Homo-oligomer: A and B are copies of this chain.
Amino acid sequence: MSFERLFHPKGIAIIGASADLGRIGGHPIKALKNAGYKGGIFPINPKYPELHGLACFPDVMSLKDPCDLAVVAVPAAGVAKAIGDCGKAGIPFAVVLTAGFRETGAEGRKLEAELKAAVAESGVRIVGPNCQGMLSIQSRVFAAFGSVADETDFRPGAVSCAFQSGGFGYAIVNLAEAQGVGFRYCVSSGNETDIAMPELLSAFLDDPGTSLAFAYLEGTPDARPLLDVGRKSLETGKPVLIWKAGTTDAGIKAAASHTANMTGTYDLYRAAMRQCGIIEVDDVEPIVDLAKLFGQGRLPKGNTVGVLSISGGSGVVFADAAVRGGLTLPPFAPQTLAGLRQMIPAFGSAENPADITAALFNDKTLFARTLELVLADEGLDQLVVLIASISGPSAAHCCEVVAAAAAKTDKPVSVQWSGRQGKSEAATKALAAAGVPFVTTPVRLARAAAILARFADDRRRLLPRKVPNVTTPKGLELPTGSVTLNEAESKAVLRTFGIPVAKEVLVATGSDVAAASRGLKAPFAVKVVSRDVPHKTEAGGVKLGVSHEGLAEAARLVVDNARKHVPGAAIDGVLVSEMASGLETLIGVINDPSFGPVVALGLGGVFTEVLKDVTYRVAPFGIETARDMIAELRAAKLFEGYRGKPPADKEALAETLVAVSKMATALSPRLKELDINPVFVGPGRSGVVAADALVVLR
């Protein structure tokens, strides 16, 4: 739905308006007046006919003039009724500042349930409760309380943001604003009883006045729509930055106690952001720098960068940080290099990153000439200029030259500059007029430039990807109820979804194992089959490397062991499987409360258990995403062959991951847990084999 009337209301009612401007019911009135809001301001309070020079109404139903938004500041017990009133009055949106809901315990949870019901019944959409309010800078809407109510001089701009912590969110806004970032919408989203973060971000992306969206996010109960937000971000070319908080046990605990937000598993959020092109940030500085760089409205065609500096050290640290971020500093083209060599003094450097040295102070055309050369170099996708901390006329000269050069190209051009701005107004003006961003340190610039390139790359890589259609295959039969399937049943489910399983035979207890296994090739894995023994190895229910001759004895042994380990277990027989070999991996499915089905991939043994080298993607997904999962493993090199071993069949593993992702999606209403461990990835193009599997239904 459109949030146009929320962000640009014709009139605003303050329900619970206070005679004291220092109180929560007074702040919004003060702020709206200070900000010069042009629409109607309607205090609602049955006690007064007039408040602060404004006509005051007993309730919103009494309003005659257009009113699109209510700010609610009555005590918690009265909020549900206030929302009901808005519905009657035809007010489509409300911002509920009042606290005292689920964050305060049982009584609050009851009030929040009532509020939710009032929202559903009235059709009024609400921000909050327990929030600090909302700003829409260009429309002068300051529907908020707290220190932000006193600071109505925020610079207007194209950054819209939302945060699940009002005080901290407005601190971010404050700090970013002081560093030159202009804002459009700022929303403290509070408990998100109705409007939650993904919907807000999506609305920001729909807004023509917004060019970048940012969220401070602790967690959201329905996180899957974030994938759609990411897709819309790539489609519109407007980046979405998310600061995910609660990434450690200590942070998770803190988040739980302050807003009762369920933070969810950081690993899954991280994977989801990568999967869909959302940019993760972890402090205010990256937000500032990215807002500036994206603000230029240019995206690089690739990940190369050309660097011109006036101080060698700047180039060195830029290169270090740029390469870490995924950029490359290719050699200049021969004609660029030859030209630079003629211009740059011997104690400088004509190679990328070029150091033209302080010589530019003596030769007033040097800088422009070098810049022109580098800009013409077709091997470079973006250009950065590092001018250290020069100020005054030198800074003005450099910045004017850069501004002029940037106008002649559509490549991103950015500047590192930390000169004193008080002494350098001409320089600042020149850059601002040309829309050329500057960042204070080479490291910060390198990190931001790398993210700019990655976003552009994500658009190329991720946008063409299609989420596969998932259908439940014919022949799939699942038992009802919360059941742990035995290995044979679990593998049958896998087979239904086209996942390659070891060649094997299930032999009922008492049957002739050797005869039943005649068509298989030794050596064998012999495993007890029982829903009651999900942890077969611990139970002694597995024998590996068994020969044809040893089958009968092995079968007896695994059954006896299982019976000892789980007295009374219902034994369905033994499974005789051909032993597979190859690179050992494991594939799991997590049916996450926020994300739904998610596929996990790890390498076997210590890699998963000790090094936690595991990657995730939200299901379902296609082959390209599966390939990303494999490439993201820290030990991914193992697939290329190691110590003379042939490369492993990565492509078959990727296909299997896709199949698992479809299976996870189809089964998700019933799936509690799914583990395929180990999955052997064979050499060459010999495929993969799922050697064991466990499906737990709910």
Question: Do residues A347 and B99 form an inter-chain contact, with CB atoms below 8 A?
Answer: yes
A358 at the interface (CB under 8 A from B): yes
- The answer to whether residues A168 and B284 also contact, given A323-B248, A349-B254, A440-B175 and a CB cut-off of 8 A, is no
In the complex, are the beta carbons of B313 and A355 less than 8 A apart? no
Whole-angstrom CA separation of A552 from B170 in the bound complex = 80
In the assembled complex, the Cα of A164 lies from the Cα of B314 at a distance in Å of: 11
| B170 close to A313 (CB less than 8 A) | no
Once the chains bind, are A250 and B322 in contact (CB under 8 Å)?
yes
Residue contact A250 to B329, C-beta cutoff 8 Å:
yes
Which residues of B have CB within 8 Å of A329?
A: 250, 254
Known: A323-B248, A351-B257, A610-B638. A167 touches B315 (CB 8 A): no
In the bound complex, residues from chain B placing their C-beta under 8 Å from that of A420 are 151, 174, 178
List of B residues within 8 angstroms of A166 by Cβ: 311
Write out the residue numbers on chain B whose beta carbons fall within 8 Å of the beta carbon of A108: 346
Which residues of A from 322 to 361 have beta carbons under 8 Å from B? 322-324, 328-329, 346-349, 351, 353, 355, 358
**Residue in chain B with minimal CB distance to A417:** B171
Convert A89-106 into 0s and 1s, putting 1 for each residue whose CB lies closer than 8 angstroms to a CB of B.
000000000011001110
- Tell whether, in the assembled complex, residue A258 and residue B316 are in contact, meaning their CB atoms are under 8 Å apart: yes
Partner of A259, one of B245, B310, B312: B312
Q: Does A319 contact B (CB under 8 A)?
A: yes
Tally of chain A residues near chain B (CB < 8 A):
93
**In the complex, A347 Cα to B253 Cα: how many Å?**
15
A312 touches B100 (CB 8 A): no
A216:B313 contact, CB within 8 angstroms? yes
* Given the contacts A165-B316, A216-B313, A311-B166, A175 and B389 also touching, CB distance less than 8 Å: yes
Please indicate the chain B residues that have their CB under 8 angstroms from the CB of A178 in the complex.
418, 420
By a beta-carbon cutoff of 8 Å, the part of chain A in contact with chain B is 99-100, 103-105, 108, 130, 146-147, 150-151, 163-171, 173-175, 178, 216, 218, 243, 245-251, 253-255, 257-259, 282-285, 310-317, 319-324, 328-329, 346-349, 351, 353, 355, 358, 388-392, 394, 418-420, 440-444, 605-606, 609-611, 634-635, 637-638, 642-643
User: Could you name 27 residue pairs across A and B whose Cβ atoms are closer than 8 Å?
Assistant: A103-B346, A147-B390, A147-B419, A150-B391, A150-B392, A151-B391, A151-B420, A163-B313, A167-B311, A168-B316, A171-B314, A171-B418, A173-B389, A175-B389, A175-B441, A178-B418, A216-B313, A218-B316, A245-B313, A246-B316, A250-B320, A254-B315, A258-B349, A284-B440, A285-B285, A611-B611, A611-B635
Q: 6 new A-B pairs (CB below 8 Å) besides A100-B346, A167-B311, A168-B316?
A: A163-B313, A171-B311, A174-B420, A175-B418, A175-B440, A250-B319
